[in-house]
Homo-oligomer: A and B are copies of this chain.
Amino acid sequence: MKKFILTEDALPRQWYNILPDLPAPLPPYLHPVTHEPLRPDDLAPLLPRTVIEQEFAQDRWIEIPEPVRDIYRMWRPTPLYRADRLEKALGTPAKIYFKYEGVSPAGSHKPNTAVPQVFYNSNEGVRRVTTETGAGQWGSALSFAGSLFGVGVTVYMVKASYHQKPYRRSLMHTWGAEVFASPSERTQAGRDVLAKDPDSPGSLGMAISEAVEDALAHDDTRFALGSAMNHVVLHQTVIGLEAQRQLEMAGDYPDVVIGCVGGGSNFAGLAFPFMADRLSGSRAATRFVAAEPAACPTLTRGVYGYDYPDTAGLGPLLPMRTVGHNFIPAPIHAGGLRFHGDAPTLCALHDKGHVEARAYQQNEVFAEAVRFARHEGFVIAPESAHALRGAVQEALAAKEAGEERTILFGLSGHGNFDLAAFDAYLAGRLEDLPLPQEQLDEALSELPATLRA
């Protein structure tokens, strides 16, 4: 086991903003109603001013405020490991490195953006932030951040998860957040759904609608998003910036960088600092692999177009690859990867051929997670195991080709709240379902606008 530890003084002082380095300017966001290019002011009722500025910033480097760095220090810099036991088990000449974000108090990379988002809100006098959460990973990260800055946090948690996954809810309560099963009676959006279907299990899109409505209805309240948008991606680049320094310590540079993709901020956070080297030409041969679930194959089976971030169509139209905001992925255990779209920056790079994508089924992913646990010790989240699956494929391809290859993958979180899923896998109860092509076709036919065929 090799571990590369950075001391506190190596904690990055700036985030890396990829916007000025993209091969072409990002297509504009569109207003959800008028379909006109979105003005920053349109976001003011939802997001704090500094976050809106970051969303459109063209500076390559953006300073991390000292109060944010102070909290980052609780768990950052995170360790980079070389998985030499796994390499040996695979009999591969490849070197496999992984960057481990599971050491954060909330157990994943999500606090990297929850902390600055709450900080900026707090700084601008916002008293409360609202958000949606599915399985609870993002909601718990925001609750954690809220408790440290004394900002109230209201989480609308998809009702099915609220009842099935009580422990992330308990975590949010422990950090002092209020958590409501969505759809709830607290918003018009929730009441409308309940009037039609009192037993609605809820959905991420519905929870977003409730959180947005709640934020819009209160002057001292804003909404916080956990992935996809530029400012979220920006904050997550601390991951890749640290990894760069750690690989320097190891005397290495990756041939391939791999991350799992739900909304894309975890992947981008690790990959974009390395992507800068590819785009500048200094490391033009580095490859980037996005690992997504076969049940929600945004990059591998979706289209590049304009779509809403939420099913209710309240958010701005984003230029992104999508399976359609009405597509409902099967309830796979990697709940954090069930978002229908992906970060616009990631999609733009994918569109230009800078990012490859692969889709994996649950059983192959869990098989890797179990092998990893037994050789490298860590029991990891099913989301992260998608990236691991990609890394193992690369390592086996290197073995097949008889060549050295340096692989870096992102291990976004621990699996302590996913053990029921491991149980199901070990008992042979996980099913790999075919993609419902008709449902996908229908969802894609409903896209409000497309960027290209």
Cα distance, A5 to B379, chains bound together (Å):
24
Cα distance, A417 to B414, chains bound together (Å):
13
**In the assembled complex, A50 has its CB within 8 A of some CB on chain B:** no
Q: How far is the CB of A166 from chain B (nearest CB, A)?
A: 7
Known: A8-B5, A73-B1. A419 touches B174 (CB 8 A): yes
Known: A3-B8, A70-B1, A148-B377. A170 touches B107 (CB 8 A): no
**In the assembled complex, A71 has its CB within 8 A of some CB on chain B:** yes
For residue A416, which residues in chain B have a CB less than 8 angstroms away from its CB? Answer: 107, 167, 414, 416-417
Closest B residue to A5 using CB positions: B7
Known: A167-B420, A170-B423. A378 touches B105 (CB 8 A): yes
Closest B residue to A369 using CB positions: B174
User: In the complex, are the beta carbons of B419 and A170 less than 8 A apart?
Assistant: yes
Copies of this chain in the oligomer? 2
User: In the complex, are the beta carbons of A74 and B3 less than 8 A apart?
Assistant: yes
Of B2, B7, B147, B375, the contact of A73 (CB 8 Å cutoff): B2
**In the assembled complex, A370 has its CB within 8 A of some CB on chain B:** yes
For residue A417, which residues in chain B have a CB less than 8 angstroms away from its CB? Answer: 416
Q: How far is the CB of A371 from chain B (nearest CB, A)?
A: 10
For residue A247, which residues in chain B have a CB less than 8 angstroms away from its CB? Answer: none
Q: How far is the CB of A270 from chain B (nearest CB, A)?
A: 20
**In the assembled complex, A312 has its CB within 8 A of some CB on chain B:** no
**In the assembled complex, A374 has its CB within 8 A of some CB on chain B:** yes
Closest B residue to A379 using CB positions: B174
Number of chain A residues whose Cβ lies closer than 8 Å to a Cβ of chain B:
43
For residue A420, which residues in chain B have a CB less than 8 angstroms away from its CB? Answer: 166-167, 170
User: In the complex, are the beta carbons of A105 and B166 less than 8 A apart?
Assistant: no
Known: A71-B1, A422-B170, A423-B166. A175 touches B374 (CB 8 A): yes
For residue A81, which residues in chain B have a CB less than 8 angstroms away from its CB? Answer: 74
**In the assembled complex, A426 has its CB within 8 A of some CB on chain B:** yes
**In the assembled complex, A194 has its CB within 8 A of some CB on chain B:** no
User: In the complex, are the beta carbons of B7 and A419 less than 8 A apart?
Assistant: no
User: In the complex, are the beta carbons of A103 and B105 less than 8 A apart?
Assistant: no
Cα distance, A107 to B416, chains bound together (Å):
9
Cα distance, A426 to B148, chains bound together (Å):
19
Q: How far is the CB of A94 from chain B (nearest CB, A)?
A: 20
Cα distance, A101 to B103, chains bound together (Å):
11
User: In the complex, are the beta carbons of A171 and B419 less than 8 A apart?
Assistant: yes
For residue A176, which residues in chain B have a CB less than 8 angstroms away from its CB? Answer: 374
Name which of A1, A176, A378 has the most chain B CB atoms within 10 A of its CB.
Answer: A1
Of B85, B175, B373, the contact of A174 (CB 8 Å cutoff): B373
Interface positions of A from 382 to 425, Cβ below 8 Å from B: 414, 416-417, 419-420, 422-423
9 nearest A-B pairs in the assembled complex, by CB-CB distance: A170-B419, A105-B377, A416-B416, A167-B419, A147-B374, A170-B423, A1-B73, A174-B422, A1-B74
Instruction: Provide 15 A-B residue pairs closer than 8 Å at the C-beta atoms, listed in order of the A residue.
Output: A1-B70, A1-B71, A5-B5, A103-B103, A105-B377, A144-B377, A167-B416, A167-B420, A170-B419, A170-B422, A170-B423, A171-B419, A174-B379, A174-B422, A175-B374
Q: A71-B377, A103-B103, A144-B377 are in contact. List 14 more A-B contacts (CB 8 A).
A: A2-B73, A3-B8, A74-B377, A85-B148, A105-B377, A107-B416, A148-B374, A166-B423, A167-B416, A167-B420, A170-B420, A173-B426, A174-B419, A416-B417
